[in-house]
Amino acid sequence: MSEISERIVADLLFARTGQQLTEARRWRIQTALAGLFRERGIANIDQLVCMLAEPRESGLAQDVVEALLNNETYFFRDRLMFDLLAREVLPDLAAKRADTKRLAIWSAGCSTGQEALSLAMLFADQPERWAGWKVDILGTDISGKAVAAARRGVYSQFEIQRGLGVTQMLRWFDEGAHGWTPHAELSRRVRFDRRNVLDEPPHPGRFDLVLCRNVLLYFERANRMRAFDHLARATADDGWLMIGAGETASGQTTAFAPACDTSGLYRRIAPDTAPQPAWPERASAG
Ligand SMILES: C[S@@+](CC[C@H](N)C(=O)[O-])C[C@H]1O[C@@H](n2cnc3c(N)ncnc32)[C@H](O)[C@@H]1O
């Protein structure tokens, strides 16, 4: 029975988020749901599956999905990628948008906000260069809990130390009774929304830079291609895409071309110059 119940729970996660829990990764279920089981007094996964069928437990399915999502993140995760943004991407965008002095950036799958705030720090660290610019950083995630935490913007001692040196921590964050909060210099540039990357993208063509790092890893091929399609439609024709250091866009989309030897950074190929892909049947996001 437990095996069937595990498959039902994995199917629920897939239907709501596109994230796949293959049999090899099903061991995660017990660990990830342990807190929820304790909170709700649920004895085991079989009981959970029975409860999911009860109409009065309508919020339970979402709690299960939230618990199964991997929200791992930290400030300046894979710092070399942020160095690349500072060295290659931002100077390119500064030149291209010199007339409007406006930049829009989308962090898709932003978890609890550290990625968006790391981006904001790249701008705040160069006040003279970015004086007079309007920089909007939109962080989105499918997890309501992660988005709520990102909006709250209060980081524990453990979270603030992950990826930030003491100088940066003291320069851009204040310590309060409940944790560390970003200065207005950072928070005025970021906002957060709940959104599934498999749904229609926000503001088509508007984003100069899109980050979608460590999100596509557990999508199966059809959903990964669908997500790339959405990321492409959100990106300006001369914009940039950054995915995770261990991820690749090659073979999944013709809308982006590798920008350099470093994996993870791509340039948008304008739609009229990109060869048309043979898209597979689109899978449902649930
Ligand atoms: C491992 S975290 C990565 C966070 C950040 N991008 C980073 O690299 O540090 C993956 C995030 O993707 C989110 N996610 C998973 N499936 C998603 C989907 N279909 N749409 C939007 N976000 C999703 C998860 O909730 C989680 O917060």
pLDDT in tens, 127-186: 999 999 999 999 999 999 999 999 999 999 999 999 999 999 999 999 999 999 999 999
In this prediction, residue 286 carries a pLDDT of: 32
CA of 33 to the centre of ligand 1 (A): 18
Reference 249, options 205, 204, 216, 209; nearest CA is: 216
Q: Provide the percentage of residues in the chain whose pLDDT is more than 90.
A: 84
pLDDT(86) > 70? yes
Where is average pLDDT lowest: 13-22, 58-67, 248-257, 261-270? Answer: 261-270
Q: Which ligand 1 atom sits closest to the C-alpha of 112?
A: 27
In this prediction, residue 178 carries a pLDDT of: 94
* Residue 54 contacts residue 179 (beta carbons within 8 Å): no
What band does 279 get if pLDDT is binned at 50, 70 and 90?
Answer: very low
In short, whether 20's Cβ falls inside 6 Å of ligand 1 is no
In short, whether 99's Cβ falls inside 6 Å of ligand 1 is no
In short, whether 223's Cβ falls inside 6 Å of ligand 1 is no
In this prediction, residue 260 carries a pLDDT of: 79
For 149, phi then psi, to 5°, come to -65, -40
In this prediction, residue 273 carries a pLDDT of: 66
CA of 146 to the centre of ligand 1 (A): 9
In this prediction, residue 283 carries a pLDDT of: 39
CA of 238 to the centre of ligand 1 (A): 25
The CA distance from 193 to 195, in Å, is 6
The CA distance from 253 to 275, in Å, is 10
In short, whether 112's Cβ falls inside 6 Å of ligand 1 is no
* Minimum CA distance residue for ligand 1 atom 2: 71
In short, whether 213's Cβ falls inside 6 Å of ligand 1 is yes
For 164, phi then psi, to 5°, come to -105, 135
Reference 150, options 71, 36, 231; nearest CA is: 71
Q: Which ligand 1 atom sits closest to the C-alpha of 77?
A: 9
In this prediction, residue 285 carries a pLDDT of: 35
* Minimum CA distance residue for ligand 1 atom 15: 215
For 239-249, write each residue's pLDDT tens digit: 999 999 889 99
In this prediction, residue 276 carries a pLDDT of: 52
> How far is residue 98 from each of residues 122, 174, 215, 241, measured CA to CA in Å?
18, 33, 32, 20
End-to-end CA distance of the chain: give it in Å, rounded. Answer: 25
Using CA atoms of 181, 187, 193, 196 in order, give the dihedral in degrees to the nearest 10: -90
Identity of the amino acid at 216: L
* Residue 182 contacts residue 117 (beta carbons within 8 Å): yes
From the CB of residue 208, how many other CB atoms can be counted at a distance below 10 Å?
23
CA of 70 to the centre of ligand 1 (A): 7
In short, whether 159's Cβ falls inside 6 Å of ligand 1 is no
Q: Provide the percentage of residues in the chain whose pLDDT is more than 70.
A: 94
For 240, phi then psi, to 5°, come to -130, 155
* Minimum CA distance residue for ligand 1 atom 9: 73
The CA distance from 260 to 103, in Å, is 22
What the block records as the tokens of 177 is: 């009774």
In short, whether 19's Cβ falls inside 6 Å of ligand 1 is yes
